[in-house]
Amino acid sequence: MAFLSPGNEAGVIVWENGGIIVEIKRIHQEFSVCQVEDYSLVNLDSEYSFIGKTDEEKSLVCITSEVPKNVIQRDDGWKAFRIQGVLDFSLIGILAKIAAVLADNGISIFAVSTYNTDYVLIKKENYEKGLEVLRASGYEVAE
């Protein structure tokens, strides 16, 4: 018997024996990973905007066309997918397994987690290969 993780309408199906089926959804945007002076120019109304702040830096992942003018450093050319659905915090190793499959095929990632799910960014020259190796490993890839 299968059940959806709590709050989940689609995407991650958990089987009673602990196995899971994970659906990956492509995001049809190009992203940039940035370091910014501050967040005053960040478009927080954007469809995608991930910010991270530590005692050492202020980081931003955003759609490339929306990189703010107060950027200190940027790395363009990232494509992304998300793990579809809401991931319950009790689910273990989903992102680690995806990262391992990609690493075993020489593909590096930049991961961003939100309250609901995880987003995985891959350099655009490796993006299609990454999705193919994930498909071959049993992941479902949705447009």
Residues 6+ away with beta carbon under 8 Å from 110: 33, 61, 78, 120, 121, 122
Instruction: Tell me if 102 sits within 8 A of 44, measured CB to CB.
Output: no
Architecture of domain 1-143: 2-Layer Sandwich (3.30)
Instruction: Tell me if 87 sits within 8 A of 111, measured CB to CB.
Output: no
pLDDT tens string 58-82: 999 999 999 999 999 999 999 999 9
pLDDT at 38: 97
Any idea what the Cα angle at residue 24 is, between residues 19 and 26, rounded to 5°?
Answer: 180
Map out the domains of the chain as residue ranges.
Answer: 1-143
Which residues, given as ranges, of the chain have pLDDT below 50?
1-17
